[in-house]
Structure 1
Amino acid sequence: MQNLQNAPGVFNSVRLYTNIQAHTTSDVLSAIPAALKTNTSILLGLWTSGSNNITNELDALGKAIDQYGPDFANAVVAISVGSEDLYRLSDIGIRQNAGIGAGPDAIVQFINETRRFIEGTSLEGKPVGHVDTWRSWVNESNSAVIEAVDFIGVDIYPFFENDTTIAPNFYVNTFDNAVPIFRDRWEQVVNASQGKDVWITETGWPFKSEGPAWGESQASVDFQAEYWRGVGCGDLFGRVNTWWYTLRDANPESKQKFAITNEDLSTEASFNLSCSAVGTGRQNAARSAGGLSLRERVQDIGRWTFAILLGVAVL
């Protein structure tokens, strides 16, 4: 989906949460050849929760290297080892029934295994990192993961930030505070990053929300559009590697709907995507990428399979 009307640039990057096709042991995820056919760059993902090894993930990665050769290597932006594993294992993740996680020691082990695996292959030298919530990155107990990664992928959702005890600003998550909350969480991660590149791997604002309220936040298309302009146009696009959530809502169980297009993947978004003004930004990385997320839940194995369609990568 590279032809979104009024988009601020060409969105042509995809983020994957696993290399493995659903209902197989280690077959290559179908999103990989699909991305190659459309000249879409890829932030690869290895699923690391719920297992003491990543053998099958690496097997699938090896098959992709063998099957798709230089085209695959040229398309790969980086490799994320895990996604929100530290959050799911944290107190807040457990309270929110986020699922099975993995601790920092396991993530560091898997990062090192991934680096060893790609040595001598066409992916050697690709950045290897991890994706997690901002709270996980600023938690000192996870500092070993920061030391191990080449880049930090952070997921920030002001909509869900209903904790008003977070210093120094103690924000209430009304929409008026959405951009300040985003910037506060972003800056906290940058300050904890040990100088590593920080990428936005998920952010967005829902147009619809069901179930219990999340603090003072409210969902609407108007707020979704304003968040796109305030955070996306104002701080991220063209400045920071960014994968936006989401192109299409693929999980029917989700109480919050974030899609910027309708279910038929129309090139017409629900609001005007153009950036009328260029913001000052919060850049700490020279590379620039953009994407829109597309997450598909595999219920029988509890694994996010593939995600994030649309992005700009200037590497």
Structure 2
Amino acid sequence: MRVSSILPFVLAAVPAVSARGTLGFSLGDKNPDGTCKSTSDYESDFENLKDLSTLVRTYSGTECDTPQNILPAAKNKGFKVVLGIWVGSQDKSDMSTNEPSFTKDFAALKKAIPGYESVVEAITVGSETLYRGDLTGPQLHNYISTVGKQFPSITVGTADSWNKFADGTADDLFITDTDDNPMVTYVLANAFAYWQGTVADQAYKTYFDDMSGAMTHIQKVAGNNADKIRVINGETGWPTDGGSDYEAAKAGTKNAEKFWKTGVCGMLAWGVDLFYFEAYDESWKPDSTGDNGKAMNEKHWGLYTADRKSKFDTSCPK
């Protein structure tokens, strides 16, 4: 299906954007055998990705010493990196565990970034913390502001599920505009039609509806300041052969290619920046439990295999 034929249908009631979107990739910090990636490993990742993108995002400041290893590689290979600070409790009965994870990651970034500011695209504080219920909007805003004061020359924002931006949970990030907590202007909204159990043929519609819902609500809340806020699709993707199904969403390389051609290419054509989840398969991952309570194999979400081989044609329809 030609992208030009799907856009009028899905864009009928969404905010206007312009220019072609920028493609980035979520990038794991471990090798296929589970060992931590070194600077040379990241350089090999970048060398393989460079024809599609020169932008990646990461998630933690301390796991595998990611900032210390990835920033030199990015500088050497001409890439930009979105760094992450984890703020999230593993124990819902003890929310105080948010603080140690934040403190450790924040300290790691303070140590790693000096001298590499030019390759840091942004810093995200929290990854779906509102979706998990680990923090309230005002609490997350305070964490973001703390990091922003430490790195005044770097854009600081957050990443969360699209519906938390659409349903008002994140409104505090955009209605407060003071010296203590300035308005958040960098937003990664994750949107997976797959996790909504959508069949592959219809997934692009769900995907566009999700992103337009998040963008429309943020613009409404921000009012006259809406043009200051950059809303990016923080994660989207589809599992290939070997992955697990989720309700009507069926894993498979052909379905992943279909979503790429319609959803990903369509979103870029609309002018929205996005990060594809993920660059490479993570074969080290153990099975997890999905939202439906069933075991899920999450080792096969990469655009490339774990040994950096392409799975399908990534060109976008004209």
Q: TM-score, normalised by structure 1?
A: 0.69
User: In the aligned structure 2, how far is the partner of 1:191 from the partner of 1:28?
Assistant: 34
Which residue matches 1:158?
A: 193
Counterparts in 2 of 1:238 and 1:2: CA distance versus 1, 3 Å? farther
Distance 1:209 1:215 in 2: 16
Instruction: Work out whether residues 208 and 258 of structure 1, in 8 Å CA contact, stay in contact via their aligned partners in 2.
Output: no
Q: How does 1:243-254 map to 2 (within 5 A)?
A: 243-250=275-282, 251-254=285-288
Opposite residue 46 of structure 1, the aligned amino acid is I
- The answer as to whether partners of 1:3 and 1:10 remain within 8 angstroms in 2 is no
SS of the residue corresponding to residue 52 of structure 1 reads: helix
- Residue 315 of structure 2 corresponds to residue 274 of structure 1: yes
* Residue of structure 2 equivalent to 1:207: 240
Instruction: Give secondary structure in 1 for the equivalent of 2:99.
Output: coil
Aligned with 2:248: secondary structure?
coil
**Corresponding residue of 2:200:** 175
CA separation of 1:61/1:237 partners in 2, compared to 1, >3 Å: closer, same or farther?
farther
Q: Say if 1:14 and 1:35, in contact at 8 Å, map to a contact too.
A: no
Q: How does 1:50-69 map to 2 (within 5 A)?
A: 50=89, 51-52=98-99, 54-66=102-114, 69=115
For 2:26, the equivalent position in structure 1 comes to none
Q: Give the number of equivalent residue pairs.
A: 239
What residue in structure 2 maps to residue 264 of structure 1? 307
Aligned residue for 2:131? 87
SS in 2 for 1:74: helix
Aligned-partner residue type, residue 181 of structure 1: T
1:132 is paired with a residue of what secondary structure? Answer: strand
For structure 2, the 5+ residue unaligned runs are 1-44, 90-97, 176-182, 220-225, 289-296
Q: 1:102 to 1:209 in 2, by over 3 A?
A: farther
**Contact 1:18–1:47 (Cα < 8 Å) also in 2:** yes
Secondary structure of 2:113's counterpart equals helix
> Higher helix share goes to which structure?
2
Please tell me whether the aligned partners of residues 18 and 29 of structure 1 are also in contact (alpha carbons under 8 angstroms): no
CA displacement at 1:21 relative to structure 2: 4.0
2:258 is the alignment partner of 1:226: yes
CA shift for structure 1 position 85: 0.8
> Do the aligned partners of 2:243 and 2:301 also contact (CA within 8 Å) in 1?
no
Contact 1:86 1:103 in 2 (8 A): yes
Does the CA-based 8 Å contact 2:280-2:304 persist in structure 1?
yes
Q: In terms of mean alpha carbon deviation, does 233-242 or 147-156 score higher?
A: 233-242
Q: Given the superposition, is the C-alpha separation of residues 81 and 261 from structure 1 closer, same or farther in structure 2, using an over 3 Å criterion?
A: same
Distance 1:20 1:238, change over 3 A: farther
Q: What 5-or-longer segments of structure 1 have no aligned partner?
A: 90-100, 163-172, 278-315
Does residue 105 (structure 1) correspond to residue 138 (structure 2)? The answer is yes
- Could you tell me which amino acid in structure 2 is paired with residue 149 of structure 1? V
Instruction: Please tell me whether the aligned partners of residues 205 and 219 of structure 1 are also in contact (alpha carbons under 8 angstroms).
Output: yes
When residues 210 and 233 of structure 1 are mapped into structure 2, their CA distance, relative to the original with a 3 A threshold, is: closer
Superposed CA RMSD: 2.4
2:147 corresponding residue in structure 1 = 114
Counterpart in 2 of 1:19?
61
Deviation, 1:273, is 0.9
Q: Distance in 1 between matches of 2:247 and 2:316?
A: 29
* Shift of residue 157, structure 1, vs aligned partner: 0.7
Distance (whole Å) between structure 2 residues aligned to residue 215 and residue 29 of structure 1: 40
Q: Give the aligned partner of residue 46 of structure 1.
A: 85
Instruction: Report the counterpart of residue 139 of structure 1 in structure 2.
Output: 167
| Identity within the alignment, % | 23
Contact 2:201 2:258 in 1 (8 A): no
How many angstroms apart in 2 are the aligned matches of 1:261 and 1:207?
10
Distance 1:113 1:253 in 2: 36
> What corresponds to 2:74 in structure 1?
35
Aligned residue for 2:232, secondary structure, equals: strand
Tell me by how many angstroms 1:80 deviates. Answer: 0.8
